[in-house]
Structure 1
Amino acid sequence: MSAWLDQVFCEDALEGLHRIPDGSIDLILTDPPYNLGKDYGNASDQQPVDDFLAWTEQWVDAALPKLKENGSLYIFTTWRSAPEIFVMLKRRMTMINEIIWDRRVPSMGGTVRSFTSVHDTIGLFVRRKDYYFDLDAVRIPYDAETKKARSRSIFIGAKWLEQGYNPKDLWSVSRLHRQHAERVDHPTQKPLEIIERMVKASCPPGGVVLDLFMGSGTTAVAARNTGRHFTGFELNPDYCRILAERLAEPPPAEQLGSDPKARGRSKVRATDPGSDPGFPAAPPKKRAVRKTPARAVAPSAAPNNELE
């Protein structure tokens, strides 16, 4: 097995991408900083706009050679940056979808000078027309009432009626509240439901998913749960420990997919075990994420109530 496969490296992606061979990745699925001033233990989310866009272009150009010719890329972003980022990516790839994630944020408080922001924007891009996409793996079943309404003879045996319908480009999935069983100590953790849908649709079983900004490790967990391989990077050592704990937990038996050895591949290796605190065989106790003073950011015209 390749040394980089099923590993999350606790290092900067731009420094570590050399580990991954070109043309070896089926799916790049990543949730980079949105540049909204969040505290990730560093200043990655607190850059001047031009610097942020230049940095985004830099890591995109470093990552795309790793993608297979029929591979795809999903990128999370915010409406504030989506136009510039999507135009930059459209110069390199073909855009298939703009997906809107409705976070189901209750209408309580927030700004009074604009409409409340309750969504994230996700771009789906591909390299060429024969990109991998498995719609059947992510169809949403019809309820019994709908099936009954379509009981006429022309619908009998229809594949779409039995297997379900194509998810639309508006995904209404609740954000992870602090009381949610899935929630860990990360400010912008994405729901596993969303990430698993992307993995199942755009990465073949046994394929490889790359996440340049692993954060809480949801991409790695989703890949492991669905029988795919993963690799990626996370700069914050506290988040590396969190994702190591998540990967040490056994996946649900029904989610092992086509790869029964998925649990055995769940491990995390640091960039330099000699200098890194390390990841012991037994999962460490959970600890609070280290808080470092955030660099001052100029206030925006409207209060920031967005969740990355």
Structure 2
Amino acid sequence: MTDWVDRVFCEDALAGMARIPDGSIDLILTDPPYNLGKDYGNASDQQSVDDYLAWTERWIDIALPKLKANGSLYIFLTWRFAPEIFVMLKKRLTMMNEIIWDRRVPSMGGSTRSFSSVHDTIGFFVKRKDYYFDLDAVRIPYDAATKKARSRSIFIGAKWLEVGYNPKDLWSVSRLHREHAERVDHPTQKPLEIIERMLKASCPPDGVVLDPFMGSGTTALAARRLGRRFVGFELNPDYCEVIQQRLAEPEAPVKKKAGAGRKKSPVVPAQAGTQVARAAKTQTNLGSRLRGNDEVEANTFTTEGSTP
């Protein structure tokens, strides 16, 4: 593999993705900014609607050529912008599913003028009909009572009864609470359970997943745990440090290669010529790092998925 694989580059993905050859990525899995005003250390989540959608279309047009012919894409979105972004993607890819992630938010609080929003929307898209998809890797086992109830002769020897059922397009997985063992210092971190399901289903063993918005690095961590390769980008240097720490944990050992010499860091600092990333590094306070910094354009970003 080349030197861009198993790396997270601390730089703007819109420029950084140029280092990835076209047709080299098995899966794009990403959680871009939702444009809901969250603080990621810059103004990436605080754009006008028109600017946000134009920026989204730019990164999509840069990222999609990186996919292999049988590649796929998963994208986390908010219901507020999913319709517009789905239309963008449907002009370029084939949509297979709209997946609803039920975050298991407790029944308290919320708006008194509308129904409480407790889900994220996930789009699953593919390039062509023979896309890679391993259903058996993500089947959910039946419990003993269900198997016993299916004891009639028509069920004997049925593969699906032994290996489990196909996950539906409603995924009920708890969001990561502050006390959760997975939780790190990132406002929109996605659970490993969800990211690993996507990787198992849509990225072959030793395949490469691209995440343009790494955030806390969940995509990279999941890929390493499952024997996949990864490449990603993250603008915020504090989040890059979080990714470095997570990938250094014993549960995520670096995959050794024959003839490999000194182990390289999986997180690569921004190049000296990257003005936006360089400006971000000069600040020290995460909460106020890039506010008011006129060197940072509205289309810079950093988020979870900016993880998964």
1: distance between equivalents of 2:272 and 2:10?
A: 10
Counterpart position of 2:237: 237
- Secondary structure at 2:287 match in 1: coil
Counterpart position of 2:76: 76
Q: Say whether residues 1:291 and 2:290 are aligned partners.
A: no
Counterpart position of 1:283: none
Report which stretch shifted further, 192-201 or 143-152.
143-152
**Contact 1:239 1:289 (8 Å CA) reproduced:** no
- Secondary structure at 1:200 match in 2: helix
1: distance between equivalents of 2:226 and 2:112?
A: 43
**Contact 2:95 2:126 (8 Å CA) reproduced:** yes
* Structure 1 residues 167 and 26, CA gap change in structure 2 (3 angstroms): same
2: distance between equivalents of 1:273 and 1:199?
A: 33
Q: Say whether residues 1:272 and 2:271 are aligned partners.
A: yes
For 1:96-245, list aligned pairs within 5 A: 96-245=96-245
Q: 1:1-25: CA deviations, max 9, x gaps?
A: 3100000000000110111000000
Equivalent pairs, count: 280
- Secondary structure at 2:160 match in 1: helix
Q: 1:216-274: CA deviations, max 9, x gaps?
A: 00000010000000001000000000011000012279xx9xx777xx78722222389
| Aligned residue identity for 1:96 | M
Q: 1:165-206: CA deviations, max 9, x gaps?
A: 000000000000000000000000000000000000000000
- Secondary structure at 2:227 match in 1: coil
* Structure 1 residues 227 and 38, CA gap change in structure 2 (3 angstroms): same
Q: 1:108-139: CA deviations, max 9, x gaps?
A: 11111100000000000001000000000000
* Structure 1 residues 9 and 47, CA gap change in structure 2 (3 angstroms): same
- Secondary structure at 2:26 match in 1: strand
TM-score (norm 2): 0.86
* Structure 1 residues 212 and 274, CA gap change in structure 2 (3 angstroms): closer
Unaligned runs of 5+ in 1: 278-287, 296-307
Superposition RMSD in Å: 2.2
2: distance between equivalents of 1:72 and 1:50?
A: 27
- Secondary structure at 1:56 match in 2: helix
Counterpart position of 1:51: 51
Counterpart position of 1:301: none
Q: 1:16-42: CA deviations, max 9, x gaps?
A: 011100000000000000000000000
- Cα offset for 1:59? 0.1
1: distance between equivalents of 2:269 and 2:43?
A: 21
2: distance between equivalents of 1:294 and 1:50?
A: 21
Runs of 4+ in 1 over 4 A off after TM superposition: 273-277
- Cα offset for 1:290? 1.0
**Contact 1:132 1:204 (8 Å CA) reproduced:** yes
* Structure 1 residues 289 and 139, CA gap change in structure 2 (3 angstroms): farther
2: distance between equivalents of 1:139 and 1:119?
A: 22
Q: Percent identity?
A: 77
| Aligned residue identity for 1:36 | L
2: distance between equivalents of 1:19 and 1:206?
A: 20
* Structure 1 residues 28 and 88, CA gap change in structure 2 (3 angstroms): same
For 1:250-265, list aligned pairs within 5 A: 250-251=250-251
Unaligned runs of 5+ in 2: 258-262, 279-283, 293-307
| Aligned residue identity for 1:44 | S
* Structure 1 residues 87 and 223, CA gap change in structure 2 (3 angstroms): same
**Contact 1:39 1:294 (8 Å CA) reproduced:** no
